[in-house]
Structure 1
Amino acid sequence: MAFDCIDTLLSKEDCTVGREMEVSSMILCKGYTPWQGLLLTASLLTYWYLPITAQVTIELVPPNVFEGENVRLEVHNMPEDFLAFAWYRGVTNMKRGIAVYAKRKGLNATGPAYSGRQTMYSDGSLLLQRVILKDTGFYTLRVINRQKEIVSTTSVFLHVQISILTCGGRTTSDQPTIEIVPPNVAEGANVLLLAQDLPENLKYFFWYKGVIPFTTYEIARHTIDKNSSFPGPAHSGRETVYSNGSLLLHNVTLDDIGFYTLKTVTREMKLELIHEYLQVNASISTCCNTLSSVQLTIETGSQHVVKGQNIVLLLHNLPEDLLGFAWYKGLYTHQPFRIVTYDRAINSITWGPVSSRREMLHINGSLLLQGITEKDAGLYTILTLNRALRVGTIYVHLHVYKPVTEPFLQVSDSTVTVQSSVVFSCLSTDTRISIRWLFNNQSLQLTERMTLSSTKCGLSIDPVRREDAGYYKCEVSNSFSSETSLPVRLMVTNK
């Protein structure tokens, strides 16, 4: 964003402090951004005042980070009276600015080195999300006090560890999904619509009640850069939006049954819609009041199916006066999406254009899917028609997972000396996994010398001791399967 004058970022009187400040203000008033103005001011002030303090420190959290992970550049001992601070790539090149923050107005602006994956906090810290190898290098924090003096210039070196594979991160084949947690929810309980694998360069996201992303149905919107959310017209006061894209519904009611739509907008203004259907189970007191309250439902046993298995979409409470029904793949009940149709009058089954011939239809309306593949994941719709020509529609969402594959354990050096360091990397092609470390076929007991990366795919030992010698393995697992790597032997020698 651009401002007419630097006073928008700092203060009106800041535009006229000193000859150099006047020059920077004049430049900014001619169309320069706050970032450029503050960089110029800071550059000129460098000649006035060289920092002699080294109180501000930067800590990498975690200290070892691998491709695809997040790392926070945690700032300690930030001066309380600071006027502004700025982050840079490198040590001396002020043209590679990431972001600048002005405390007085609480404003910030991004610089030319901003990639959309950085988040700056008012305490000075900087979060780097989904780091890549190109993120390796020096990062510098410069702090300016209320006297317009550069009181601190602190640098830290970030080394992004190489991951040949994904190390449990996101792969390009992952598609955005919404998972209902827990999959079965009763009236009065809370349920999380968990967003997964959202675009990396996300700028905004919106939640809607229903399938049409109109403002009238908007529950809330969230701005990534500002980490701020705003309720929409459809917000009932029981919804909480999280920065990772998820939506929490508190104390759900039967009125909450239906579709929810997540709209994502990237920095390239690419839009994507993800739909999910929420079914709320009525309480006993509600469902037993009258026979007319018995609703048609679909049971899957589990909404999370392992690739290659069979699953039955089991119907309950099918109306007795039914004329027929039809199954569809997806949200829309149109001919191109039809799997199968059943006509009770003539006891006829007709397969539709999206049938894979792996389906089997039961006379009670249930649908058997055999040899599940990843393409079978998604929404299923059944449409019913009774003798009064009343149409009923119900939906179920199926998630398909594949068993994990054997991980590969990589070590920076298999023979190290005492007091040196070593880094292990557990490399896997699978996503959404848990990682466990083994030492001599036993679960590794972490010591104060051992550090795990945020996703646990990296293990660092510093300093190494003689007792660290032995065989290391890593185990990856999801809810359905687990695999263990081949062992790697670490040898420890004296200096």
Structure 2
Amino acid sequence: MRRPRAQLVLCVTKGNNLPAVTEPRPEHSRASLLTFWNAPTTAWLFIASAPFEVAEGENVHLSVVYLPENLYSYGWYKGKTVEPNQLIAAYVIDTHVRTPGPAYSGRETISPSGDLHFQNVTLEDTGYYNLQVTYRNSQIEQASHHLRVYESVAQPSIQASSTTVTEKGSVVLTCHTNNTGTSFQWIFNNQRLQVTKRMKLSWFNHVLTIDPIRQEDAGEYQCEVSNPVSSNRSDPLKLTVKSDDNTLGILIGVLVGSLLVAALVCFLLLRKTGRASDQSDFREQQPPASTPGHGPSDSSIS
């Protein structure tokens, strides 16, 4: 597909006036103080990858968008620059001849439309790929594309500074993975962790610190690692949070003190009640006092 030709007529004026753009004019027009600009006769080369995010072991297709006309040949190269020793394969349009190059691995196929097909891509296939097209007038044009191949992430693991923590203490959870270029996410009781003010994440989120820890932090923790093509979670790690010993001691002390006070009050009440009862019994057992002049005589008359 050929890109339409365009012309821009720039009118240059004196003073502080800005250049003015006028309507396009025929190529044979001539005027003073006019500058003509012609777009290139070739189209812009653009390379697209399908799929855009490539997993290791998949097949990938590098297609050429806006392939120009009047081509003689094209070739694919691996690397940032076009060098003979980096040629994957070349294709001559008129003869339909495909020629493999030094960088050909046996998994690449070049199509008549200029596309490059990969089978079973590996991590080593990550890098820049250059397409060079040659026109029949010997003009050369190039386009490049960066291909990124991702590996499927393995299951990560969690390491804890302690799995049993006293309330108001702290704990550090670390997510370990052998994969690179991954992102980290923390899971709490099968839900994405809601980070609070007591929690701190490291720069890449692979370390979680909780300080101070509370009872509501007890539960199962997991870390999830992911890249653009895959994700995986660790096994659950159970975190137990014990009550603070000082708080428990204070509660026990208050309870014991209350019981002692109650016992003392009961003892005093019982003692007071007992004294009053003893005094009442003593008064009931005491004989009545003798009345003067009415008691019996000490002597009797025979």
**What are the within-5 Å matches in structure 2 for residues 272-291 of structure 1?**
none
What TM-score does the superposition give when structure 1 sets the normalisation length?
0.39
How far apart are 1:408 and its partner, in Å? 0.7
**What are the within-5 Å matches in structure 2 for residues 156-175 of structure 1?**
none
* Equivalent residue, structure 2, for 1:378: 127
- Say if 1:457 and 1:361 are closer, same or farther in 2 by CA, change over 3 A: same
- Rounded to whole Å, the distance in 2 between the matches of 1:409 and 1:330 is 39
Q: Contact 2:96 / 2:112 at 8 angstroms: preserved in 1?
A: no
- Say if 1:490 and 1:321 are closer, same or farther in 2 by CA, change over 3 A: same
- Say if 1:466 and 1:342 are closer, same or farther in 2 by CA, change over 3 A: same
Structure possessing the higher relative contact order (Cα contacts under 8 Å, 6 or more residues apart): 2
Question: Of 187, 200, 210, which aligns to 1:461?
Answer: 210
* Equivalent residue, structure 2, for 1:336: 85
Return the letter of the residue paired with 2:193: L
* Equivalent residue, structure 2, for 1:476: 225
How far apart are 1:492 and its partner, in Å? 1.9
How far apart are 1:332 and its partner, in Å? 3.6
- Rounded to whole Å, the distance in 2 between the matches of 1:391 and 1:415 is 69
- Rounded to whole Å, the distance in 1 between the matches of 2:42 and 2:109 is 30
Over residues 210-264 of structure 1, what are the superposed CA-to-partner deviations in whole Å (9 max), with x where a residue is unaligned?
xxxxxxxxxxxxxxxxxxxxxxxxxxxxxxxxxxxxxxxxxxxxxxxxxxxxxxx
* Equivalent residue, structure 2, for 1:178: none
Question: Of 420, 425, 429, which aligns to 2:174?
Answer: 425
Gaps of 5+ in 1: 1-288
Q: Matched residue of 2:148: which SS?
A: strand
How far apart are 1:293 and its partner, in Å? 5.8
* Equivalent residue, structure 1, for 2:146: 397
- Say if 1:451 and 1:331 are closer, same or farther in 2 by CA, change over 3 A: closer
Question: Of 184, 188, 193, which aligns to 1:444?
Answer: 193
Q: Contact 1:323 / 1:387 at 8 angstroms: preserved in 2?
A: yes
- Say if 1:393 and 1:446 are closer, same or farther in 2 by CA, change over 3 A: closer
- Say if 1:369 and 1:469 are closer, same or farther in 2 by CA, change over 3 A: same
**What are the within-5 Å matches in structure 2 for residues 195-206 of structure 1?**
none
Return the letter of the residue paired with 2:114: G
Q: Contact 2:169 / 2:213 at 8 angstroms: preserved in 1?
A: yes
Q: Contact 2:46 / 2:64 at 8 angstroms: preserved in 1?
A: yes
Return the letter of the residue paired with 1:383: Q
**What are the within-5 Å matches in structure 2 for residues 215-364 of structure 1?**
292=41, 294-301=43-50, 304-364=53-113
Q: Matched residue of 1:292: which SS?
A: coil
- Rounded to whole Å, the distance in 1 between the matches of 2:98 and 2:61 is 18
Q: Contact 2:150 / 2:227 at 8 angstroms: preserved in 1?
A: no
Question: Of 232, 238, 246, which aligns to 1:489?
Answer: 238
What TM-score does the superposition give when structure 2 sets the normalisation length?
0.63
Over residues 449-470 of structure 1, what are the superposed CA-to-partner deviations in whole Å (9 max), with x where a residue is unaligned?
2222222211122222222221
RMSD: 2.1
How far apart are 1:291 and its partner, in Å? 8.9
How far apart are 1:434 and its partner, in Å? 2.2
- Rounded to whole Å, the distance in 2 between the matches of 1:294 and 1:393 is 11
Q: Contact 2:42 / 2:68 at 8 angstroms: preserved in 1?
A: no
Q: Contact 1:439 / 1:472 at 8 angstroms: preserved in 2?
A: yes
Q: Matched residue of 2:80: which SS?
A: coil
Return the letter of the residue paired with 2:43: V
* Equivalent residue, structure 1, for 2:16: none
Over residues 309-346 of structure 1, what are the superposed CA-to-partner deviations in whole Å (9 max), with x where a residue is unaligned?
22111112333322211111113433311111112232
- Rounded to whole Å, the distance in 2 between the matches of 1:476 and 1:371 is 24
Return the letter of the residue paired with 1:339: I
Return the letter of the residue paired with 1:485: S
- Say if 1:370 and 1:485 are closer, same or farther in 2 by CA, change over 3 A: same
Return the letter of the residue paired with 2:46: T
Q: Contact 1:310 / 1:371 at 8 angstroms: preserved in 2?
A: yes
- Rounded to whole Å, the distance in 2 between the matches of 1:493 and 1:323 is 78
Flag the structure with higher helix content: 2
Q: Contact 1:424 / 1:459 at 8 angstroms: preserved in 2?
A: yes
Q: Contact 1:308 / 1:373 at 8 angstroms: preserved in 2?
A: yes
- Say if 1:443 and 1:363 are closer, same or farther in 2 by CA, change over 3 A: same
- Say if 1:459 and 1:348 are closer, same or farther in 2 by CA, change over 3 A: same
Gaps of 5+ in 2: 1-37, 246-302
Return the letter of the residue paired with 1:491: T
- Say if 1:315 and 1:447 are closer, same or farther in 2 by CA, change over 3 A: closer
Find the structure with the greater CA-based Rg: 2
How far apart are 1:471 and its partner, in Å? 0.8
* Equivalent residue, structure 2, for 1:388: 137
Return the letter of the residue paired with 2:180: T
Q: Matched residue of 1:300: which SS?
A: strand
